Amino acid sequence: MRGRHTADEGGGPMPVVRTNGISLGYEEYGAGEPVVMVTGTGAPGRVWRAHQVPALTAAGYRVITFDHRGFSPEGASGQPFTLDDMAADLAGLLTHVSPGPCRVVGFSLGSVVVQELLVARPELVRRAVLMATIGRADLLVRAMAAAEIDLCDSGVALPPRYAAYVQALQYLSAETLGDPDGLRGWLDVFEMTATGNSAGMRGQLGLQVIEDRRAAYRHIQCPCLVVGFADDRVVRPRLAEEVAACIPGCRYTEISGCGHFGYLEKPEPVNSAILDFFAEPDR
């Protein structure tokens, strides 16, 4: 039985779907045509609650968020998995929550998962928004992934205040870094979440180190919108723009004044871009 919550209520236990040999926890909000949200590395589905769930449900969509493998209900298994596994997980969830193709929104690693799904199972997706995505891993992406893996495997836990400072520099825009009031809130959030689910995240680290997939993406026929964030130091906008250039008919839009966490840093223009794209007639 599917659980369904409004965007402002806590709800009961997270419903679960068994797919691809694992159990995925997911939640539904609102009513209407389904939109499935796919998070980035190490992030649980609840990150969409603050801004995207309210905007999409208010526009009349049924929003489905979920936790990637490695999180509850099963937790980290220690078994390695691939992007293809994550795309197959997503395929199983889509067939569970929607009788036909539906709209999908991805962010960072989640966008790459969606792109691989569009190659393998194009019939499942009606429209896709790909935020902060890549079609190939350049030297900086590879260096970042290797460094994160080394840190995770070392067992060293950074002091929360230091971890918060590093994350602020890595993920936020110069505009936010220069705003003392706004920055204080971000530092508090980063400090509180500094000891997150590192075991669940470990399996995802390195999956963004993909070979050049742009040739494969040229066969994608689903209407797509790629969203880049102007101050993104993790996925520089030119990498996202490359993906838009190789998907037939894909559009690219860039949101100013935000870094890698643009969907949280500047939610209004991001939400407007998503909603405008979803409201367009299918081609």
Type and span of the H or E element at 25: strand 22-29
Higher pLDDT, 242 or 200: 242
Tell me if residue 85 is catalytic: no
Distance CA 44, CA 21 (A): 20
Question: What are the structure tokens assigned to 53, written together?
Answer: 């769930």
**pLDDT 10s digits, 72-117:** 666 556 678 899 999 999 999 999 999 999 999 999 999 999 999 9
**pLDDT 10s digits, 186-234:** 999 999 887 655 666 788 888 989 999 999 999 999 999 999 999 999 9
Q: What is the pLDDT averaged over residues 238-267?
A: 97
Residue 189: which residues within 8 A CB-CB, separation 6 or more?
Answer: none
**pLDDT 10s digits, 10-61:** 456 789 999 988 889 999 999 999 999 999 998 899 999 999 999 999 999 9
The DSSP bridge pattern shows strands 102-107 and 33-38 to be: parallel
Q: What DSSP string describes 193-232?
A: TTT--HHHHHTTTTTT-----HHHHTT--S-EEEEEETT-
- Could you say which of 98, 108, 111, 173 is catalytic? 108
Distance CA 120, CA 210 (A): 16
Residue 272: which residues within 8 A CB-CB, separation 6 or more?
Answer: none
Tell me if residue 72 is catalytic: no
- Could you say which of 5, 68, 173, 260 is catalytic? 260
Query: Do residues 124 and 94 lie in contact, with contact meaning Cβ atoms separated by under 8 Å?
Result: yes
User: Residue 155's pLDDT is what?
Assistant: 87
Helix (H, G, I), strand (E, B) or coil at 23: strand
Distance CA 207, CA 202 (A): 10
Question: What are the structure tokens assigned to 253, written together?
Answer: 């839009």
Tell me if residue 260 is catalytic: yes
Question: What are the structure tokens assigned to 189, written together?
Answer: 């959030």
Q: What is the pLDDT averaged over residues 171-180?
A: 96
In the chain, the percentage of residues whose pLDDT exceeds 90 is 78
Q: What DSSP string describes 68-93?
A: PBTBTBT---S----HHHHHHHHHHH
- Could you say which of 85, 89, 231, 232 is catalytic? 232
